[in-house]
Chain A
Amino acid sequence: MPLFDNDFLTRLEYLSIVSRKVFRGQLMAKRRTKQMGGGIEFADHRQYTPGDDFRYLDWNLYARHDELLLKRFQEEEDLHVYLLLDCSRSMSTGEPPKFDLARQVTAALAYIALADLDRISVYAFANGVLNHFPLTRGKARILSLMQFLESLTADGAATNMTQLAEEFVIRAPRRGLALVLSDLYDPGGYRNGLDVLRHHKYEPHVVQFHHAAEANPKMLGDVELQDVETGDFRKITVTESHLRNYRDVFQTFLTSVTEYCSAYGIGCTITDTEVTFDKLVLGMMRAAGTN
């Protein structure tokens, strides 16, 4: 069954319309950059300092208060949306695989961004950047993007978010919205990578994928676990007590992701693979709208 069939495209178009009519691009489209500059929308005043351009002095205010204040305008520019897609082997697990949902969400977000005339770029990563869809603009590029996504496979090495972030900040030409679509199963920890993105003034948004068997495993007795990313084996005897502990540990992990994102103002979406991509994207829009 193809990943992006006609039904997918129909739902994608519907999603785009809903995004524009209802949420008015609150997720990413028409977002304003934080740069002040030569826009037409007034933003703020600041004290004049020598060397400032006289054209931006507020003469009316000077006439009334005899004080030199400089008008600041918000500069409007195209939003750069970077979609960082995890292609490590752990994304291939689950039924359906997490990777399929991640790619559909990537395509949907990219479509919405392209429809709002934003620029998008997709980076496939595992222990670093594996592949790259260059920065592009216009809805017409969506088919190329889909072809790119379909060509990707989740067979990368173990996830290394730090390595990804360091390579990404070098490759990305401009700052913008960086959506990380991953299960965040990084043995070294996912925080360093997100910290690097934050420190380089990107606006990260995390979408964590997991499936039901990861959150609530059922196996009991003697099993030999194989880590699909590292290939390591671990022989264990699983009891009900162990399953309870595992559920606690996994829930703690998800909670830590949420708390980290909340602490640094990072958008965060945690989802399992039971939901469809359109419901997930709508949910992300609602969450962005309430914030």
Chain B
Amino acid sequence: MSFSNPAAFLWALLAVPVVIFYILKVRMRRMPVSTVMFWEQVFDEKQPRSMWQKLRHIVSLLLQLLFLCLLVAAVTDPFFDSDIREQRRVVVVLDTSASMQAPSENGGTRFAAAKVQIGRMIRGLKIRDEMALIVAGGRPQVVCGLTSHQRTLQVRLEEITPADGPTRVAAAVEIGRRLLPDQMNEEIVVVSDGCFTGAAALAAEDQIMWSQIGASSANVGITRFQVRRSLLDPITYQILIEVGNFGDESLDCSLDLKLNGELLDVIPLALSAGETRAEVREETSVRGGVISAEVQWEDDLAADNTALAILPERLRIPVTLVTDGNWFLQRVLEANDIVELTLATDVPQNLPPGGVLVLHRKVPEQIPAGNVFVVQPTAATEFWDLAGSIAQPLVDKQDKSSDLMRHIRLDNILMPEALKLIPKIDSKTLVESISGDPLYLQIPHDNGNILVLSVNLDQGDLPLRTAFPIMLTNALSWFAGGKGELIESLATGDTRSLLMPSKLQKVAAQHNNQLSLTAPDESQQHIRVVDGHCMIGPLGQTGIWKLTEVRNADTPDTPDVDLPVAPGASLQIACNLTDPLESDLRITEDIKPRQKFLNAGFGGRPIWFYLVIAAILLTMIEWLLFQRRWVS
């Protein structure tokens, strides 16, 4: 046996004054009474045992000395050498994925049951054992490093909250392995429901102790949900829905689709056991907002019964078409529901705010500031020169990375004639002919951009192909700054780099290139904007997240709006579970825990603890025997 604090033995010198006080006899209080005959009756009824009477004082001294010895021994903190040899290092990996929010067999959630089990493990640690806590949510994280302080572990455990994200147990176990140096008595305990790929294999590993939580249950969940604007019709949008039945029985249920809380459609679903059904629906609306899908079925996991998506609002664009007449161009623009078309034969001096000027076969000497789409220019400008025409131009290259060329293929379109453009300033060629001449050109301009299409629309197939309205729609959307396009719904646990709207970029620039990301539970964190992009994720909660400017104490409050890009510059991001592995609450029977965590129980306490308990018991005995005067 060893002592952590041997100097504390000096406290044993307190025995000297204890003995001195014992030797010094205290004179008893003398009390005159009228008669002692009544007291004699009281005491003669119960005569004290003579042996005890003789020993009671020495027993009192011995009890006090024993009490002192116990306290001194406790202060020295004794420990056995075996405590050092048998010291355990335990890493507990807690699964905080969405499936852990399903009910457990004992009532409450699987997550609550897991916390109870881990709490029991913490209490079962021996005094020199160390434990670390790792959460295996969307982002594996060490919430408490190796420590033997049980209260710290309990506090950290209580702080852990369940997430709506996927399981990353394998990654968390890997972190746990790094935490454990290569020594004896190391254990990694995984507390999970096993609802992830590779759970059985992980449970079979040597170093892993598997603690199974929960029992199998049926569930219906939305596994995919995205909304996007139609490529052809600017006010139509498409909804991709995938719903899975993760149970062993067929069922009939329905799916409610809502836009900003208003019911759009009710889709009846008949799903056989294990079936997953995907469907694309089309709806029409200029309005934007939050599209929600709700499965009307009572099951054990609520997080996957609702999915959300952000539908961008279509803002109407004032377009001025200057032409002597082109039937195709005019009809395409008139057919676009987001266009407010104005026809003109002369080039206006100024454009309306956010407006687009379309010049067909007309080029002024000075191109007005703003966004200008030039089709078949007839004269050279400060931005380009004309060098005749190109006969039968064949498309050689397309800039597929540009949003302007999204969903467009021009290489199979017959174009009999095009103008030969020679850019005067740095520009970006979107479509290039085989001769190297630009057919579709992007040129930066004052407060806007210029797009130049050199193809002759009066000849060839281009106005007759679907690529033509798509090209114009892309151009108008691009001029509008990307407004009204797809804002992808993220899955919990996903990480995405999102391009921020220009207003939000400007706001971020005023706050050290940072934006505030607000979770559905109103908790906030700061996100850095790099090159106009934000790295979002992994998000731990389902619901609507908001990117707004960083609010300091001196920042005036501006009301949030539900638009994707609000005047106050904010961006909404929908986040859904949409993970078939998490929605599947059936537990594989292949998981066979091979070891069991050994609780030290009450015997795991340090020696000083028992010494203090003994001292307290001794104090109670001394109090009962002497202070209470149970013996006389």
Contacts of A223 in B (CB 8 A): 28-31
Contacts of B28 in A (CB 8 A): 222-224, 235
Once A239-B628, A239-B629, A242-B42 are accepted as A-B contacts, the answer to whether A187 and B37 lie under 8 Å apart by CB is yes
Chain A residues with a Cβ closer than 8 Å to the other chain, count: 34
Give the docked Cα–Cα distance between A35 and B599 (Å).
99
> Which of B34, B35, B41, B632 meets A236, CB within 8 Å?
B632
CB distance from B314 to the nearest CB of A (A): 90
> Which of B32, B38, B628, B632 meets A246, CB within 8 Å?
B38
Contacts of A235 in B (CB 8 A): 28
Q: Are A236 and B32 in contact (CB under 8 A)?
A: no
> C-beta contact mask, A215-253 vs B, less than 8 Å → 1, else 0?
000011111111111101111111100100110011001
> Which of B29, B35, B630, B632 meets A227, CB within 8 Å?
B35
CB distance from A168 to the nearest CB of B (A): 22
CB distance from A35 to the nearest CB of B (A): 39
Give the docked Cα–Cα distance between A238 and B31 (Å).
12
B45 at the interface (CB under 8 A from A): yes
Contacts of B589 in A (CB 8 A): none
B40 at the interface (CB under 8 A from A): yes
Q: Are B43 and A214 in contact (CB under 8 A)?
A: no
CB distance from A173 to the nearest CB of B (A): 33
Q: Are B30 and A224 in contact (CB under 8 A)?
A: yes
> C-beta contact mask, A182-210 vs B, less than 8 Å → 1, else 0?
01010100000000000000000000001
CB distance from A182 to the nearest CB of B (A): 11
Once A239-B628, A239-B630, A245-B45 are accepted as A-B contacts, the answer to whether A234 and B39 lie under 8 Å apart by CB is yes
B33 at the interface (CB under 8 A from A): yes
Q: Are A234 and B38 in contact (CB under 8 A)?
A: no
Give the docked Cα–Cα distance between A253 and B41 (Å).
11
Q: Are B41 and A225 in contact (CB under 8 A)?
A: no
Contacts of B37 in A (CB 8 A): 185, 187
Give the docked Cα–Cα distance between A94 and B629 (Å).
27
> C-beta contact mask, B39-52 vs A, less than 8 Å → 1, else 0?
11111010000000
Give the docked Cα–Cα distance between A112 and B464 (Å).
144
Q: Are A226 and B41 in contact (CB under 8 A)?
A: no
Give the docked Cα–Cα distance between A187 and B41 (Å).
12
CB distance from B322 to the nearest CB of A (A): 112
Contacts of A245 in B (CB 8 A): 42, 45
> CB-nearest residue of chain A relative to B56?
A237
> CB-nearest residue of chain B relative to A183?
B34
Once A183-B34, A223-B29, A239-B632 are accepted as A-B contacts, the answer to whether A234 and B45 lie under 8 Å apart by CB is no
Q: Are A242 and B632 in contact (CB under 8 A)?
A: yes
A106 at the interface (CB under 8 A from B): no
In chain B, positions 18-71 with a C-beta closer than 8 Å to chain A are 28-43, 45
Give the docked Cα–Cα distance between A197 and B37 (Å).
24
> Which of B31, B45, B632 meets A226, CB within 8 Å?
B31
A93 at the interface (CB under 8 A from B): yes
Q: Are A225 and B39 in contact (CB under 8 A)?
A: yes
A90 at the interface (CB under 8 A from B): yes
CB distance from A211 to the nearest CB of B (A): 8
Q: Are A185 and B34 in contact (CB under 8 A)?
A: yes
Q: Are A229 and B31 in contact (CB under 8 A)?
A: no
Contacts of B629 in A (CB 8 A): 220-221, 237-239
Give the docked Cα–Cα distance between A229 and B28 (Å).
21
Give the docked Cα–Cα distance between A276 and B47 (Å).
41
Q: Are B35 and A185 in contact (CB under 8 A)?
A: yes
Once A221-B629, A239-B628 are accepted as A-B contacts, the answer to whether A246 and B31 lie under 8 Å apart by CB is no
Most buried by B among A222, A225, A239: A225
Give the docked Cα–Cα distance between A245 and B39 (Å).
9
Q: Are B29 and A226 in contact (CB under 8 A)?
A: no
Once A185-B37, A239-B630, A253-B38 are accepted as A-B contacts, the answer to whether A226 and B30 lie under 8 Å apart by CB is yes
Give the docked Cα–Cα distance between A160 and B111 (Å).
87
Q: Could you list 4 further interchain pairs (A-B, Cβ under 8 angstroms) beyond the known A214-B33, A228-B33?
A: A185-B37, A221-B629, A239-B630, A249-B41
13 contacts between A and B (CB under 8 A): A93-B32, A221-B29, A223-B30, A227-B34, A229-B34, A234-B36, A234-B39, A236-B43, A236-B632, A238-B629, A238-B632, A242-B632, A249-B38
A positions within 8 Å CB-CB of B? 90, 93-94, 183, 185, 187, 210, 214, 219-230, 232-239, 242, 245-246, 249-250, 253
